[in-house]
Structure 1
Amino acid sequence: MSVTGVLHSDAKTRDELAAKSREWIQTAQTWLSAPLEKNRLTWNGIQIHCLLLLARQVTRLGPDLIWISAGSLIRMAMQMGLHLDPNCMEEMSLQEKEIRRRLWYTILEMNVQAALDAGMSPMISTGDFNTLPPSRMSDEELELGGAQVEAQSEMNGLSSQKQLLPLLAESLPLRLNVTKVINSLQEEPSYEEVIRLEKDLAAACRTATTALDSTPSLNLISHTSRFALSHFTHLLRRFALCLHFPFAIQSKKNPLYTYSQKHCLEAVQDIVSVLDDELYTRLLLTGGGMFRDLITRGAFILYLESTSDIDADISLVSRSRNRARRESIIRDAQRVAQYAKERMLHGETNIKGYVYISMSTAQIEALFDGSSPEEAAMTAARESLETCRGILEAMAVKASGVDTGSAVSDGVTSLLGDLDGQFDLDDGSWDFDFGESIFFHDGGDVSL
């Protein structure tokens, strides 16, 4: 209920479910953490644990600590033997084998995504398990039984329905390695290694895309299919974004890293495209953890790309031509700005992302219009802070039933007062700590 409540078509129902979710999640967490933990080492227990971690990210309830819980979940799964392939164990039905494999790779996927967000090691390698990836059989085909399905497929010339989890599982060893390289504390990877890993990621994406294109059930224009494809795209493409990001932000000073800027932009635009999916967007508006890429790394890459080589546009003709080439990037930046605002309307209390995106988008538009980028950024900062004040005041009244607008107003007035001097988004005075926190953490306190 907590995981899927945000997807309900009725806004009032979504709000009611969201209000109850915190209690439900805490109840499930308490049950899993009971002293007799061994009693939770069951199929039900581990499935509830998976749903609990997903619910915490969907509802933004401690999403920045998911990596810790995911590590505990992996150890539970290994204690139950899920890291061993069923073919190496005692006789069991095809269904039971498939359940074990699906659960194991679901847990691995949650762990690698959490490690990427936390900036930590996945704490597991491919040498720690031998479980084969799940098959591409649907639940209905499993119920029929493997032999019968195979005979039916040969007779009808039909292939088994391809599922998304097996496609993610195929690239999992690579993404585990990529995450370890990104978050390594020993030494920075060589740029040659980064390029090699990126090519492997690109090949994995092409393989997955080819498999999806040949899957009739996922080519249907339905909410379910679109949601699944959006989630798949998001989970896969964010690894290329994170891999290249540290180099892409240096591309203005070092042209050697232009390659990273290009591939970061492609990944960001793929992730931005999922905003076309209304159902998946509901999840992005409420989620924390892995659902925040667009207002952190993504926003900065769009700004970086839009302003690159801007000083070279000497003539009005070249400036106009350059703007036409970059209009799609500007539109994406505007969409991300609107998305950041809507996240606040859905409970986000950290205003820094929205303010920064609003300022950078205004500066980009001013640069191409030939007007003052500093004045445009200043105006956008004031307008976005006023917008934030209105949203936060309404949020405070709704939460407490008491008008706390004066306190919010004082805070915004103080911030507005700091904007009286001259500044530039690139001059270092606005420190979003790109190398580590990427603007901000969930519930964290990163000073401007």
Structure 2
Amino acid sequence: MVQPQLIGGGTPKALTGVQKCKQLARVIKSRWSPKWPTEFTTELPRKDIADDLVDCYLRTTESVYRVLHIPSFRRDYESLWISDGKKDTGFLALLKLVLAIGAVTYDDKFSMRMFARKWIYEVQTWLSEPEFKSRLDIQFMQTRILLLLARDLVKVGGDSTWVSTGEVIRTAVSLGLHRDPKRLPAKPKLICEMRRRLWNTVLEIDTQSSLHNGSMHSIYMEESDTEMPGNFNDEQLLHEGAIPSPETEFTQMSFILILRKSLELRRGIVRFLNSINSRGAYDETLQLDAQLRKMYKDLYKNMHGYTLGASPSTFSLNFVDLLLQRYILALHAPYFGPSLSEIRYSFSRKMVIEVGLKIWCTIYPTSAKRSSVTTGTDLASSSQDFWRWVTSGSGFFRYGFAQVIALIAIELRAQIREQECLGPAPLRSDLMNVLGQGLDWCVRCIERGETNVRGYMLQSVAKAQIEGLQQGLPKEEVARSMILSAEGCADHALALLQDLFAQTTQCDENTNIPEQFAAMNPTSAPGIEWDFEMPDEMFNFDMDDPTRLAVDETMVNSMFGRFFHDVSFLG
């Protein structure tokens, strides 16, 4: 992107800054991760803190991934604090994962990240014990699913969610969850519905992780005869004679059933994109797109058409919207690069930008409505839980926003190239907003624990290039502007990581833990060794030269290399 001669002799300042950031990031991650294996303990945070963490989990993740029967969970949870006897290790393991997931949306800074990682490590150690058969029950299945979700959200273990999902599916099959309860010995309604719910959740996670990993799903729906869960509120399942509520009544299962209607089509899209036997024909892409968008409209009407029961939460609405848009984006993204030079793919180009803006507006709702740049600080009253979930959390949903920013940067540069005018090139203000907001979002992510600064630098340099080209500056001046932007970004990122390092150091010394955390009793006493380092894959575009920050058409295929095994058919 820049002329080498403009950089000057020696090592470029920006690259030196990036190397310092990487070195500091390794230290920060090593402090976050306890020694393996981590002994499983009965220690929990103070009850008022635990209550808040449980509430965070129940109103966010549990509302869109049904894993628990909430009344039963709350009963066991309250009993845990009353009883002085021996604690149920199985329930403690499940609870610690609930607390870890709840910590993601507990506050704006993800201040309990170290505790969340410790709880995940403890449960992972406990599950690694050779006691598989004796634990094989519904609670064990719930714990395995929660561990998947916790590792993905808290970013423990890199991008291994897809691999672990295969193991969870086989555990579910061992429990017979792939067979409908009507074909098994008679069980209470609560058990029957929980089996259906857990199988549905496993299929959903399998589909999402397969799309994210660029791999095939682990089981075909034809290999299961388990029916859809019923439209029940959890309290109804305590009564054996309960009947499902009508579709027009909003229940704790409404969003799950909405997503289930699109599940078979979404799994078909995953097969089309990732199977080595897929022909990848563009006509088939358009057919799948039409089917998915039609289904999206129908589901949208359902989401806003409830006449009975409670109202859907903003978190759940944003979740469903973002999830479905990700599949539309996945269909068209492989054709985005070719669309910049081949008119036959122009529809895919239009869809990538249109869907990208919709995805972006789930966290920056005003992006397409005003010319000024909205920051994350302005979103507290809009959807605080969802904002925290995709900014502090990691995994499938957060990566979608990084995709959108990069694709829009490529689109803006392409628009400048296509225009021939003497003055500054006019560009869409809503797309320019995304570039500015994208930098704000990257800063927020780093403040909350993201240690990879490459995405931040990529966006900063791309924005500088686009603004220079828009103003019609000479090539050398554009390159200088990009270099200055890279240097400033590296310095800013290093300062952010230094603040993050100071926070982890102070937490390690128990000098900067908020007062309400002081009563926590973790095993992270002075004797703990913080030497286990986890990889970070955010913004890893698998480029041949990690110092290349090229925002070009060639970047599209490398960006989406993690999603698709073979894109040779794209030409």
Figure out how many residues of one structure are paired with residues of the other and give that number.
Answer: 404
Larger helix share, 1 or 2: 1
* Alpha carbons 1:249, 1:301 under 8 Å: kept: no
| Letter matched to residue 51 of structure 1 | L
Deviations 1:157-189 (A, max 9, x none): 974636111111111111112112212234551
Give me the whole-angstrom Cα distance separating, in 1, the residues matched to 2:236 and 2:424. Answer: 59
Alignment of 1:2-401 (within 5 A): 2-9=100-107, 11=109, 14-15=110-111, 17-143=112-238, 147=242, 159=249, 161=251, 163-215=254-306, 220=311, 225-276=313-364, 277-315=383-421, 319-320=425-426, 323=427, 326-371=428-473, 373-399=478-504
* Alpha carbons 2:262, 2:295 under 8 Å: kept: yes
Give me the whole-angstrom Cα distance separating, in 2, the residues matched to 1:236 and 1:261. Answer: 18
Deviations 1:327-352 (A, max 9, x none): 11111222222112221122212111
* Alpha carbons 2:228, 2:257 under 8 Å: kept: yes
Give me the whole-angstrom Cα distance separating, in 2, the residues matched to 1:257 and 1:61. Answer: 38
Q: What TM-score, normalized by structure 1, do the two folds share?
A: 0.82
CA deviation after TM superposition for structure 1 residue 105, in Å: 0.8
Rate the CA distance shift 1:180–1:64 in 2: closer, same or farther, 3 A: same
Rate the CA distance shift 1:347–1:160 in 2: closer, same or farther, 3 A: closer
CA deviation after TM superposition for structure 1 residue 90, in Å: 2.6
| Letter matched to residue 40 of structure 1 | R
Deviations 1:48-92 (A, max 9, x none): 111111111111111400111111111111111111112222323
CA deviation after TM superposition for structure 1 residue 148, in Å: 5.8
Looking at both structures, which has the greater relative contact order when contacts are Cα pairs under 8 Å and sequence separation is at least 6? 2
Give me the whole-angstrom Cα distance separating, in 2, the residues matched to 1:216 and 1:282. Answer: 30
CA deviation after TM superposition for structure 1 residue 2, in Å: 0.4
CA-atom RMSD, angstroms? 3.0
Give me the whole-angstrom Cα distance separating, in 2, the residues matched to 1:370 and 1:145. Answer: 72
CA deviation after TM superposition for structure 1 residue 315, in Å: 3.2
CA deviation after TM superposition for structure 1 residue 102, in Å: 0.9
SS of the residue corresponding to residue 425 of structure 1 reads coil
2:561 is equivalent to residue 436 of structure 1: yes
SS of the residue corresponding to residue 111 of structure 1 reads helix
Give me the whole-angstrom Cα distance separating, in 2, the residues matched to 1:304 and 1:49. Answer: 40
| Letter matched to residue 79 of structure 1 | S
| Letter matched to residue 2 of structure 1 | A
Rate the CA distance shift 1:39–1:116 in 2: closer, same or farther, 3 A: same
* Mean Cα deviation higher: 278-287 or 72-81: 278-287
* Alpha carbons 1:351, 1:388 under 8 Å: kept: yes
Deviations 1:364-408 (A, max 9, x none): 333334445434333322221111121233334444579xxxxxx
Rate the CA distance shift 1:44–1:209 in 2: closer, same or farther, 3 A: same
Rate the CA distance shift 1:366–1:137 in 2: closer, same or farther, 3 A: farther
Give me the whole-angstrom Cα distance separating, in 2, the residues matched to 1:227 and 1:105. Answer: 20
| Letter matched to residue 384 of structure 2 | E
* Alpha carbons 1:167, 1:208 under 8 Å: kept: yes
| Letter matched to residue 347 of structure 2 | Y
Give me the whole-angstrom Cα distance separating, in 2, the residues matched to 1:422 and 1:169. Answer: 42
Q: Please, which of 538, 546, 551 is the counterpart of residue 425 of structure 1?
A: 551
Give me the whole-angstrom Cα distance separating, in 2, the residues matched to 1:105 and 1:328. Answer: 38
CA deviation after TM superposition for structure 1 residue 93, in Å: 3.1
* Alpha carbons 2:216, 2:270 under 8 Å: kept: yes
SS of the residue corresponding to residue 275 of structure 1 reads coil
Give me the whole-angstrom Cα distance separating, in 1, the residues matched to 2:244 and 2:155. Answer: 41
SS of the residue corresponding to residue 61 of structure 1 reads coil
SS of the residue corresponding to residue 137 of structure 1 reads coil
* Mean Cα deviation higher: 361-370 or 94-103: 361-370
Deviations 1:274-314 (A, max 9, x none): 21432212121222220332454212221122233323433
CA deviation after TM superposition for structure 1 residue 142, in Å: 3.5
CA deviation after TM superposition for structure 1 residue 435, in Å: 4.0
* Mean Cα deviation higher: 391-400 or 164-173: 391-400
CA deviation after TM superposition for structure 1 residue 201, in Å: 1.5
Deviations 1:257-286 (A, max 9, x none): 221122222222222122143221212122
Give me the whole-angstrom Cα distance separating, in 1, the residues matched to 2:486 and 2:451. Answer: 17
Rate the CA distance shift 1:185–1:44 in 2: closer, same or farther, 3 A: same
Give me the whole-angstrom Cα distance separating, in 1, the residues matched to 2:103 and 2:505. Answer: 23
SS of the residue corresponding to residue 217 of structure 2 reads coil
CA deviation after TM superposition for structure 1 residue 431, in Å: 9.7
Give me the whole-angstrom Cα distance separating, in 1, the residues matched to 2:277 and 2:386. Answer: 37
| Letter matched to residue 259 of structure 1 | F
* Percent of aligned positions that are identical: 26
* Alpha carbons 1:374, 1:422 under 8 Å: kept: no
Rate the CA distance shift 1:9–1:342 in 2: closer, same or farther, 3 A: closer
Aligned to 2:59: none
